[in-house]
Amino acid sequence: MRTLITGGAGFIGSHLAERLVELGHEVYAIDNLWTGKLSNVAKIQSNKRFHLVVDTILNESVMNELVFKVDHIYHLAAAVGVLNIMDHPVETLDINVKGTETVLRLANRFKKKVLIASTSEIYGKHVGHSLAEDDNRVMGTVKKRRWAYACSKTLDEFLALAYYDEKKLPVVVARLFNTVGPRQTGRYGMVLPNFVQSAILGKPITVFGDGTQTRSFCHVRDVVEALIKLMDEARAEGDVFNVGNDHEISIKDLAQRVKEMTRSPSEIEFIPYEKAYGPGFEDMQRRCPNVEKLKNLIGFKPNHDLEAIIQSVIDYFKE
């Protein structure tokens, strides 16, 4: 099987590439190295079944050649991270919308199956219960640029499902909830690597807001296995699936857990969102997935609990 991964040198993309190479696939990866890194694919860079193209998915001639030669496409390339979204709203919309449109249009040209990586962000400020795929979205005002990412990924989903309905293109949409693990950087605002790095270095562990907001964390290897099974499952085509761990924890409790597991002397500091991100920022108070649909289809069950997830990140940064 020949597979293309957009964003293949990124955090999730590199883990997916490693696993697919391990399974015997010939993997083509394209990444512009904006947030991806060559070091992420160092383990497989010399493997004859792995091919990395350093370019943007907006380069249609390059993408046309790649899409033509593969059987499946995992579309993971996107502008990610809260700081990126706040600092680069134009690039966020450009890559997330135009990039996905390019991938789908070329996939349709050659009728290649596509898995679109979406995000839990599309649920917006919905806090009533664990989030199911058919729940309504609750978006903030367009004057808050925080919501640009969520809206761009929502449009990606609409576009993917439109290609499935109108063009009969085999498409699967996976909504990822806080994927974490080795290689994730805290540079763009990802919470767990930031906490771990600060704790190891003895610096203050910074919690934005009051820390009562909750998140659900899933190890990248569990996410990768789910993506591969969704790609291989014909019954998933034309549908949307939450991918994540339904164990919930508050951010202040996560900070305390990291502090304890690293045996760090670091203090936990609380900083207002405005000071961290500037004006135009809103956060979601709760984000926990309902994953029953995924369990029923592919038997999904995360193999890493929260302690194992945190420990894997600690081990990575200590190395």
Give pLDDT tens digits for 57-106. 999 999 999 999 999 999 999 877 666 667 777 887 888 999 999 999 99
268-271 vs 205-208, strand pairing mode: parallel
Asked whether the beta carbons of 131 and 289 are under 8 A apart, the reply is yes
3 state SS of 162: helix
pTM for the whole structure = 0.94
How is residue 204 written in tokens? 């203050």
pLDDT for 244: 97
pLDDT for 161: 98
Residue keyed to tokens 């190295």: 33
* DSSP letter assigned to residue 93: H
Q: Rounded to whole angstroms, what are the CA distances from 1 to 23, 28, 73, 109, 303?
A: 10, 11, 11, 19, 26
Adjacent-strand bridge partners of 269: 206
Tell me whether residue 149 is one of the annotated catalytic residues: yes
Domains and CATH numbers, the chain: 2-180+219-244+288-303 (3.40.50.720)
Cβ partners under 8 Å of residue 92, min gap 6: 79, 84, 85, 148, 149, 152
pLDDT for 88: 75
pLDDT for 91: 80
Q: Rounded to whole angstroms, what are the CA distances from 16 to 33, 79, 254, 295?
A: 16, 18, 26, 20
How is residue 262 written in tokens? 């690293």
Q: Grade residue 145 by pLDDT with cuts at 50, 70 and 90.
A: confident
CB atoms within 10 A of CB 244: 28
- Burial label for 66, CB within 10 Å (0-12, 13-18, 19+), is buried
Instruction: Considering the candidates 28, 74, 123, 149, report the single residue annotated as catalytic.
Output: 149
Give pLDDT tens digits for 182-229. 999 877 568 999 999 999 999 999 999 999 999 999 999 999 999 999
Mean per-residue pLDDT, 112-137: 90
Asked whether the beta carbons of 157 and 97 are under 8 A apart, the reply is no
Query: Does residue 247 have a pLDDT over 90?
Result: yes
Q: What is the mean pLDDT of the chain?
A: 93
Q: Grade residue 279 by pLDDT with cuts at 50, 70 and 90.
A: low
Q: Which amino acid is at 130?
A: S
> Alpha-carbon distance 6 to 116, whole Å?
10
3 state SS of 136: coil
Tell me how long the chain is.
319
Asked whether the beta carbons of 30 and 57 are under 8 A apart, the reply is yes
* DSSP letter assigned to residue 124: B
Q: Grade residue 130 by pLDDT with cuts at 50, 70 and 90.
A: confident
